[in-house]
């Protein structure tokens, strides 16, 4: 089975994620993906023979809309998604990746250049295994963005991706993950 077929099969075990993928098609967001933690944690849960959705704190829905970089536009999307997903046992965290450069330095202490696409934002996530996005196309096909492949994800290896994220963000996330998935192999920051 090819890597992306395997990934789709594993993610299909998380009924919440599958439902969110279906609903997200109706939000009409430009260049959207569910990304990072909800994808990674679903895979690790299934590989660890746990419930597919167990312990997933939030589902990251990312999109890229450079047409309106104001907070009000992003907040409207956040509120719309929250209202349409309030019946699900999940928190959906929505972010317009076109706006990240406006707040990133204040939060993390490092400047961030504007992301030209959602994919370029995913490429900068703190660990290689979390540089993954998935969406469901209108025709029902699954579309993946995984620029660094899936080897680390399936091997349960947490490798730093020092493209942008600070060391502290990587180490904090890795330490939290180890408490839930002790089989993880966490590689040190370079």
Question: For the whole model, what pTM was predicted?
Answer: 0.95
- Total residues belonging to the chain: 190
Domain boundaries, the chain: 3-186
Nearest to 125 by CA among 17, 40, 11: 40
pLDDT tens digits, 55-107? 998 999 999 999 999 999 999 999 999 999 999 999 999 999 999 999 999 99
Taking the C-alpha atoms of residue 11 and residue 121, their distance in angstroms, rounded to an integer, is 22
Q: What is the DSSP letter of 43?
A: H
Report the percent of the chain where pLDDT is more than 70. Answer: 99
The three-class DSSP label of residue 152 is: helix
pLDDT tens digits, 128-164? 999 999 999 999 999 999 999 999 999 999 999 988 8
Taking the C-alpha atoms of residue 143 and residue 119, their distance in angstroms, rounded to an integer, is 12
Close Cβ partners of 31 (under 8 Å, ≥ 6 residues apart): 63, 64, 117, 118, 119
């Amino acid at each position: 089975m090819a890597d992306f077929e395997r990934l789709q099969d594993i993610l299909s075990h998380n009924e919440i994620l599958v439902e969110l993928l279906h609903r997200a098609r109706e939000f009409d967001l430009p260049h959207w993906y569910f990304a990072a933690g909800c994808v990674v944690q679903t895979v690790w849960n299934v590989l660890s023979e746990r419930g597919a959705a167990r312990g997933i704190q939030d589902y990251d829905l990312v999109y890229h809309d450079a047409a309106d970089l104001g907070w009000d536009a992003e907040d409207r999307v956040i509120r719309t998604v929250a209202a349409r997903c309030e019946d699900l046992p999940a928190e959906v965290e929505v972010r317009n990746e076109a706006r990240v450069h406006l707040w990133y330095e204040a939060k993390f202490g490092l400047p961030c250049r504007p992301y030209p696409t959602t994919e370029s934002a995913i490429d900068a996530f703190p660990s290689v295994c979390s540089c993954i996005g998935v969406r469901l196309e209108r025709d029902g096909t699954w579309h993946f963005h995984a620029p660094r492949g899936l080897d680390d994800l399936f091997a349960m290896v947490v490798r730093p991706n020092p493209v942008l994220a600070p060391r502290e963000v990587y180490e904090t996330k890795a330490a939290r993950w180890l408490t839930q998935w002790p089989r993880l192999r966490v590689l040190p920051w370079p």
